[in-house]
Structure formats: C-alpha cells, structure tokens
Structure 1
C-alpha cells in the first residue's frame, strides 16, 4: 500500500484512546534514541501524519497505540517515500510507515510486521474513463511513486510511458493538469484524496485482472510496518499489539474513520505469500469481519 496540496496539512483527525491492558515494554527494547521511538513516515493521509504531538492517520493511529503500550513516546521523522526504507536499513530510525506493501524482496532488508490492513491496487483516473485492466494502460502516460514495489511490473506493460514522482502530491498534480493519463498509487491515499476533493473529477478503480505475471499489481496486498532486522525485540512488541488489535477488530474501527470501510481492507481473500517466507509454514493471516 501509494492531492494537490499536502493532505496531511489539510485534514485533521482525532487520536484514539489507548487501552492500558498491556504493561509497558520500554525496559526490554533498545531504540535509536534512548527513551524514544523514532518513526519515519511520509505524511500522506489517510496513512500517516503528525498533529499535536501524536501520530494521526490509519497507520499513524496504530503506531501511536503501539508506542503507548510499549511506554515509549514517538519522535517523528517526516520524509519522502524514497528515504523511508533506507532510513530503517541504516539504523537512523526504528520503524517506518507509509502504507507500505509486503513483498518478499523487502523481507530481505527489513523485518516486516503483521499486516495493518489489506488492499487491491488500481488506477486513479478521470471519471470520463473506466479503466480497470492492465491492458487499459497500454500506450498511456502513467505516474507512480519512486521506490514502489510494482514499478518493474508497470514497465512491462506494452507501450506504457512511466513517470516517477517523489510524492503522491506531484503525481496527482500532473494528472489533474493532463500531463499524464493515470496514477497508480497507494490505494487508501488515492481513495481518500479523491473523496476529499470531488471537484477533481477523478475516481479509483481496482484492477480486475488476476495475472500471475503482475502479482504485485493485481494480487491482494498487505500494508505493513518496516523495522530494522537487528532489533527483534521491537518487532516482537509491535506484532503483539497488532495481533491484539485484529482480535478486537480495532483495525476496522480505526479504518472506518479514514474511509476504509469495505471488507477487502480486513479480509485476506487471496494467496498467502508470507507462509514459509517471513512466517512459518501454516501461518494464517489475521482477519476481522
């Protein structure tokens, strides 16, 4: 999981109260800055933002809850998407958000959390069009974000002219100006931006293809948190809170506030790529109905 103006600066949301059922874990976890949890994030809503000393957005509220249960306050590190993964690898931050999708390649450079939610990729486009297939993009000018996992797959589409952007804002700006025909971005970010700006005349259609050669574009995705491989204690603590939130359906409660209301966000209907990769054989993805 990819707004003419920065949505994080336009939209304000409340912070969800945190359950005190889990004791503080701070004493057992090492962090980049002692006593602080340094989080890299993109600021693209509805995924993550920072307001009044707390993280907001769907991913942001989840991370805020995690930090409070661990008893470690967050230090925000706002940056462009292209820098978030590198900052985790280099040890400059403890974890990163950005509606990042799980991929096997990313498991080799980071520890990836339990899923925060699921998603289907699709096409942001003018309401004059109804493109929902890979073939609909053939010969068209398409924008996406530098570093997104499905960029190599986009390059394989016949005649597609690809433009890479550092931010969702820049890509959407060119789409509205008519310089490109479509944007393939983070589904929750795109859907949220469209819902808040009906005057754009845009809509988002998920890919209807089921193509094994374009698995990242057309398969069911998982949004995860990325963490440094040298800090397994942090990953264990983060995953414990996430699992609890799935069990109580708090994931869906938070998501509904940010427009993630469809079952596809909370039901893993598709192949489980993680079993036998970064999870044991027989691993089952969490769900909330």
Structure 2
C-alpha cells in the first residue's frame, strides 16, 4: 500500500475514534457500550414525550455528548422523584433531566452543570389577580408549581415570607408537571405559576396571547446539571470533558439557539 494511503487510513481511524479527553474506559456502565440515563420527560422544553419517545433540549444534548464519548444512549423515563433513588441503586449511569442543583441534592449526588436558569411568574394574559411579580401581590393567591421541583421550594418560601409579614399566605398548588401548572392558570384554578425562563419562552411561542409574564426574572443564576453517583469521579470527568468539547466545536451554542433559549443560559462564553 502506498505510504500516502496508509497515512490517510490511519488518520481517518484516529479522527473517527472518540476523543481521548471524553473517555468512559474507566467507568462501569449498566450496559456495556451504552449510557443509560434517567429522565422525567414532563418538563418541556428540556424533556417531554413526542411520538412515544423522549425529546427536548436535554435529549439532544445527551446525543451530542454520547458521540464524543463513543457510546449509544438508553433513556429510562420515570417519575422525577425516583431518579436519584434509581441512580443510587445502580439502575442508571447518570441522571439527565434538567435537575436544579441545590444543597440537598448535592449531598446525595455529584453534578455536572450545563446551564444556568432563572424563573418567571406567569399569569393569565389579562392578569385578573393584578399580580406584579414575585412580591406581596402573590400573598393570598394560589400559585401552581411542579411537585418536588425547585419552583415548589420558591413558592413555599414565599408563602412563609407573606405570613411572617402578617399577610395572607400563598396557597401552593402542586401539580405533576409544568404543563399541568400552566393549565390550572389558564383555567383560572390558580392565579399564577412559576416556570423556568426557557419554559416560559416556549409557552409564549406555542400559545401566544394566553399568558403573560408578571415582573422580572428571579433566581437567575440557578444551575441545572447532569447527576452522577456520589464519588463517581470517572463518570463526572468524562461528562465534563465531553461538555467542554461540544462547547468548543460550537454545537452547544447551536443547541441553545435551536431551542430558542436566551443566550444568558450558557455556562460557556
């Protein structure tokens, strides 16, 4: 074989191989050659079900990362509250489900952050309850939130603050999904709901004229991340390396633009 063809052949093999920086060779996977991840596909636009399969920003992102890692993916769709238990029990390799990073969760799992988000107060377009934001106008009102989500924590804290100031408390209505929370406001069963900034952008785009934002973004430096088992440094390092690679090649930025997220969500300048 001519030397030039031999060199080209070796080069093509090298280029086709997974990057050594994003390496899973030191990781024992649930299924060899496959990254098994847990997802609660009820938090659009990050994860939802389309044609019977998980779809959304996180699903597209894990597809990009898996190519860098040289593995297939296997989503395990389950209730959000069961994700950490399933990871700790060895049924999952990672959690990929827009999990907000907080102190309680960080004591149970290790995180690989990939976005920073804010939240917004969403009301009916006519705003019959005259809510002006995350302020005293919420006191005495009903706020819908996703059960177990970060917005439930925000709402319960706001309820406490209303009561401490001698005002009527907030009725916190917990719903299975963000879509259910939105529906309760649309139907007038709740006065407002808390939603992530990207989720609010998607909502306004899909059903224009139905909802409005009250006030400004809050908690806008909260990070979400993929979760790995506590102390699983090899998996954490591999995911971090793959994430840096998709940021470097521009696909991370393109993914944000494709899903119409505000540029402020990016962790990479």
What TM-score do you get using the length of structure 1 for normalisation? 0.73
- 1:224 is matched with which residue? 225
**How far 1:121 moved relative to its partner?**
1.1
Q: What's the secondary structure of 1:244's corresponding residue?
A: helix
- 2:100 is matched with which residue? 101
Task: Tell me if structure 1 keeps the 8 A contact 2:65–2:246.
Answer: no
Higher helix proportion, which one? Answer: 2
Q: What aligned pairs does 1:17-56 form with structure 2 within 5 A after superposition?
A: 22-23=19-20, 25-43=23-41, 44-49=43-48, 56=55
Give, in whole Å, the separation in 1 of the partners of 2:185 and 2:206: 16
- 1:14 is matched with which residue? none
Give, in whole Å, the separation in 1 of the partners of 2:54 and 2:183: 26
Question: Larger Rg: 1 or 2?
Answer: 2
Task: Tell me if structure 1 keeps the 8 A contact 2:145–2:151.
Answer: no
What TM-score do you get using the length of structure 2 for normalisation? 0.78
- 1:264 is matched with which residue? 264
| CA 204–83 in structure 1, closer or farther in 2 if over 3 Å, else same | farther
- 1:161 is matched with which residue? 171
The answer for unaligned runs of 5 or more in structure 2 is: 1-15, 163-168
Task: Tell me if structure 2 keeps the 8 A contact 1:40–1:79.
Answer: yes
**How far 1:204 moved relative to its partner?**
3.4
- 1:204 is matched with which residue? 213
Q: What aligned pairs does 1:183-202 form with structure 2 within 5 A after superposition?
A: 183-198=193-208, 201-202=210-211
**How far 1:155 moved relative to its partner?**
1.6
Backbone CA RMSD of aligned residues: 2.7
The answer for unaligned runs of 5 or more in structure 1 is: 1-18, 209-216, 267-285
Q: Is 2:188 aligned against 1:178?
A: yes
Higher strand proportion, which one? Answer: 2
